[in-house]
Structure 1
């Protein structure tokens, strides 16, 4: 990957023609970019670079602002999408979980990244510092459902629960599903609208989107993609791995830990995201999801932002590490 921040640098003369590295490990520096000129320069870089462009920002506010500017200057299309990878919006080691819409966007972005040929990904530096599930988890946990396909409702319900979906009386947000006779309502992660799947005997007769507010059907589709509802597995193998890794990581009676008890029952307790490494043999980082020819653009202030995040994480770890009900991973 190439970065525009390095001691060996060349100032760009215009945001319409920013200087880009011409070979591996070469760096360029952009200067005197005021107002929205950074967005214009990045938009120009997207057009010039034959691959994905990764932009690391100081925080989520800067990432959101840049995304708006890029949609104005470059537009947003499937051939060169403008992708964001949002922060959890929780404090380090929080006992609260991110909103389902945030998880949905994160999973959708991770699923798309390996196949993106061109475009831009905008990520706050603190978000890029978190560990992520391995790519193999998403590959193995993603399901395509086609109209006319055979579907066992009981098996489908079990699979959805193992993938982290929640059975509710009425589907309203990402990660929800409900079963009413031969009708399955489902709001997949990464989808813009929920789907209503109507079965005829054991065959998918129709798939339609519907409005979660009034529950009315909108349009018919032929295929849907089902991503997992969490960034970790809640199937039998995942729970078994969590239990073993938890006992190896922490001392004491597991009966005193509500986190351990809930996961053992197949539930996802609040704040479980900070125990993600216990579900896998090995985790990965965002960079493991990126194509090899990704161009890296960084803000000169991200080192300070990364250090601030690390200090905040260390401080909260020291404050909460001795809670026997919620032991913390270092």
Structure 2
């Protein structure tokens, strides 16, 4: 297989590329990334020397660039990770989210259609479902009810992907994951932000009361799930990918502080985010029943591994 992985220099995309290279020795991977602030080629340095890996700098909303890379490498499948993904940034400036997440996805889809590409997988988010109360879970049948410009742009992209299955009989899948964590994540996200600030002895900003609930999924478990969808997913289906691992934000922060032996006095509660969803929780029963996927990482072990990775990185940076 020749896989076009868009957004492959980002957090999840880079882990997926390394997963594919290590798991499927005959596959060729083309990493197509615009290298915005969230993209870093250091994330894929371990595979950059391999003949089966290629990097092409490009924007998924640039039709000419997308067609060129598809034609050059005879692509079999597209896995679209490319997205603007930080909610706070979408509140400050939603325009780029609509351009990349909506127009970019449609540009990729139509180029894939014109090139008769066999598979298209859209990497989405549980945020498209909106907010949950204290009980219940998101399933693939939960209505879309996004509450931020970011999640609205991802929901819009999902609907466009669905339309290409219904209208053009294109072989597509949509995956919707819960919050990912693990090495290499951008420092704007909760877990790496809190780790880096705690190590530095700085104040840890926590939105509102810190009682917002998220379901946490190790990025490597997510990559295996996408691999399973790529090879076994049924055309047109949506698959929710969750860790069955709910925590309040404040408890996550306390676990990080405890592991680093830092004081909880570093916690500073700040004005809550606009439109802040209270709770996300995914029911992964469908992907487990149909494709046999289950998360393998135990959260406490995965979090310690992640903390140690960031500690090691800060040591290396201080030595340079």
Q: TM-score normalised by the shorter chain: which range applies?
A: under 0.3
Question: Which has a greater percent of helix?
Answer: 2
TM value normalised by structure 1: 0.27
Task: Find the structure with the greater CA-based Rg.
Answer: 1
Query: Which of structures 1 and 2 has the larger relative contact order (alpha carbons within 8 angstroms, sep 6+)?
Result: 1
